[in-house]
Chain A
Amino acid sequence: MRFLETFFNGQVILNYLPDLVHAMGVTLGLAAATIVTGILCGAALACLRVAGLKVVNFFIIVFADIMRALPPLVLIMILFFGMSSLGLNLSGWTVIYIVLSLVLAAFSEEIFWGGLTSIPAGQWEAGRATGLSRAQTLFHITFPQAARRGIPPLVNRVLATTKLTALGSVIGVKEILSVSSSAQSFSGSATPLTMAAIAYLIIFIPAVILSHWIERRYHFAT
């Protein structure tokens, strides 16, 4: 009974539900913006890498490596605190959006590039032999195949990256975790944290189930 009072207090739930629903909107918006930007940038970088320009490729590889090796929270703090001491005040939302987009771009670049390198040379040759340019062959023939192969790992990476929106709570973005943390300290009850967990489950359980389904459908090549 005391357990219910602590973690599922009806009055607290009612008080903070509107705030939390709003926070879910913020989380979803941030996630959507990140997914679109990250995947598009990753695809663009992978395609650029096909051009085979040594210097450009070097920078793409270094970028992808660093973004995959660094903990996102480190990047977030550097950008958030560093930029403000340069006199450039970025909002918490912007910082999270930039960092998560860069991270997702790095991972999806690697996924798309891995897909592209696994496309048989014959596909390129067939395209080129029928008079298509390199860009046309890439765009119409090889990239669509690479993207298909990349879907299962990409879905997992998108899930992992969007869950990182919770890091927004560290720099004051009013998303689910930060809203419920402050509600927890105001109300002196653990209930808002339970609500946060449930809010995340509402968003991510369908996503996890979707990822299982996709993995089964495209079970080849991870």
Chain B
Amino acid sequence: MTKPRTMLEIAGLEKSFGEVQVLKSIDLKVQEGELVFVIGPSGSGKSTMLRCCNRLEEPTSGSIFIDGQRITDIPHRDLDRMRLKVGMVFQGFNLYPQMSVLKNVMLAQVKALKRSKAEAEARALEMLDQVGLKHKAGAMPAELSGGQQQRVAIARALALDPQVMLFDEPTSALDPELVGSVLKVMKGLREKGMTMLVVSHEMQFAREAADRVVFMDQGYVAEQGTPEEIFGAPKSERLKTFLSRVSHGDVEAEAD
């Protein structure tokens, strides 16, 4: 048994917007095939951390490694290639409204990965099949439900064969009855061994599927551990308060 590979490593990550320091020295490792869950009050910097991992935000200092390669100092012209290795799923789906579902999934394959049209189409259909939406390939995004749109967005990221997938509250824009279909796809991904870093408040899902849970607060990783540790025996007061609020369905309450 070889030592597991570290797929994503965040070391001493700091990020400021102007005067405001949003991330204050974050350290986090995600092993190959691991699903790490990030929870924390709104405004604690979860999205910012995730967006630093593919450099949609430029870190102020610190390092991030993807599969051992430091991505925080690669030049801008190589960013696009790096981003192919890091899939990202957004809260608001961000499907391209003017293109069919199939075209959405094909675009980056053809333009960034330089796959042939035929190859990209085959791969797109395969991925759409994986998220249960092959029959919607010809539809336009506006014709889909939120849950379906989010699954297409997942397929769009997966089609590029990323090594890590980042999810930023993938279900929080969805009606409750549609959440399950997206979580099911994510569970399937985990069983296939995908490395995932997930920001979400689906605590039930975290209990079932997460290897580790990270609690972020005010720009720090305040606490981390197995789901049992975090949910069963929270140490800090802040985490206890947060969990009790979430269980009352009051996630956004602590936004400042």
Residues of A within 8 A of B (CB): 120, 122-123, 125-133, 136, 140-141, 144-145, 148
**A141 and B112 contact, Cβ closer than 8 Å, known pairs A125-B56, A130-B83:** no
Question: Which residues does chain A contribute within 8 Å of B94, judged by CB atoms?
Answer: 120, 122-123, 125-126
Cβ contact within 8 Å between A130 and B96: no
Cβ contacts under 8 Å, B97 to chain A: 145
**Residue from B56, B87, B111 within 8 A of A132 (CB atoms):** B111
- Flag if A128 contacts B83 (CB, 8 Å): yes
Of the residues B84, B111, B156, contact of A140 by C-beta under 8 Å = B111
Nearest Cβ on chain B to A174's Cβ, whole angstroms: 43
Partner of B160 from the list A126, A128, A131, A144 (CB cut-off 8 Å) is A131
Q: Chain B interface residue count: which class?
A: 20 to 34
Q: Are A136 and B111 neighbours in the complex by a CB distance under 8 Å? A: yes
A129 touching B88, Cβ below 8 Å: yes
Q: Taking the nearest CB of chain A, how far is it from the CB of B94, in angstroms?
A: 4
Q: Is the CB of B98 within 8 A of A122?
A: no
Question: Among A122, A125, A131, A148, which residue has its beta carbon within 8 angstroms of that of B112?
Answer: A131
> Could you tell me the distance in whole angstroms from the C-beta of A131 to the nearest C-beta in chain B?
4
Give which listed residue, A128, A133, A144, A148, contacts B56 with CB less than 8 A.
Answer: A128
**CA–CA, A129 and B153, complex, Å:** 11
The distance in angstroms between the C-alpha atoms of A140 and B97, with both chains bound, is 12
Contact, CB under 8 Å: A132 / B112: yes
Cross-chain contact A130 with B98 (CB below 8 angstroms): no
Query: Using Cβ atoms and an 8 Å threshold, which residues of chain A touch B156?
Result: 126, 130
Return chain B residues, CB-CB under 8 Å to A126.
90, 94-96, 153, 156
| Other A-B pairs beyond A125-B88, A126-B90, 6, CB < 8 Å | A130-B87, A130-B112, A131-B84, A131-B160, A132-B108, A141-B107
User: Nearest Cβ distance between residue A23 and chain B, in whole angstroms?
Assistant: 40
- B144 interface residue per 8 A CB criterion: no
Any A CB within 8 A of the CB of B229: no
Give B148-167 as 1s and 0s: 1 = Cβ < 8 Å from A's Cβ atoms: 00000100110010000000
Residue of A nearest to B95 (CB): A126
Contact B107 A132 (CB under 8 A): yes
Q: Is residue B92 contacting chain A, with contact meaning CB distance below 8 A?
A: yes
Q: Does B113 contact A (CB under 8 A)?
A: yes
A131 to B80, CA, bound (A): 4
Quick check: B98 and A145 within 8 Å, CB to CB? yes
Any chain A CB within 8 A of the CB of B192? no
A142, closest chain B residue (CB): B96
Nearest chain A CB to B229 CB, angstrom units: 32
Q: Are A132 and B80 in contact (CB under 8 A)?
A: yes
- Does B107 contact A130, Cβ atoms closer than 8 Å? yes
The 10 closest A-B pairs by CB, nearest first: A130-B108, A126-B94, A131-B112, A122-B94, A131-B84, A129-B88, A131-B83, A131-B80, A136-B111, A133-B80
Interchain CA distance A34-B65 in the complex, whole Å? 53
The answer to whether B54 has its CB under 8 Å from any CB of chain A is yes
Q: B81 in the interface, Cβ–Cβ < 8 Å?
A: yes
B residues in contact with A127, CB < 8 Å? 108
**Inter-chain contacts of B86 with A (CB < 8 A):** 129
- Chain B residues in 8 Å Cβ range of A128: 56, 79-80, 83
The CA of A123 and the CA of B156, in the complex, are separated in Å by 13
**Distance of A126 Cα from B97 Cα, bound (Å):** 12
| A185 smallest CB distance to B (angstroms) | 53
- Within the assembled complex, what's the spacing in Å between the Cα atoms of A64 and B59? 36
Query: A144 to B56, alpha carbons, bound, how many Å?
Result: 22
Q: Is B92 a contact partner of A129 (Cβ separation < 8 A)?
A: no
Which residues of chain B are near A129, meaning CB under 8 Å?
54, 56, 83, 86-88, 90, 157
- Measured CB to CB, the nearest residue on chain A to B110 is A140
Chain A residue nearest in CB terms to B156: A130
A120 and B95 alpha carbons, distance in the complex (Å): 11
Q: Is the CB of A131 within 8 A of B107?
A: no
**Residues on the B chain within 8 Å of A140, using CB:** 96, 107, 111
Chain B 39-65: CB-based contact to A (< 8 A → 1; otherwise 0): 000000000000000101000000000
A206 to B68, CA, bound (A): 64
How far apart are the CA atoms of A124 and B157 in the complex, in Å?
Answer: 15
How many Å lie between the Cα of A136 and that of B110 in the bound state? Answer: 11
Closest chain A residue to B112, Cβ basis: A131
Give A149 Cβ to nearest chain B Cβ, in Å.
11
**Cα A218 to Cα B250 with chains together (Å):** 39
Tell me whether B160 and A130 are in contact (CB under 8 A): yes
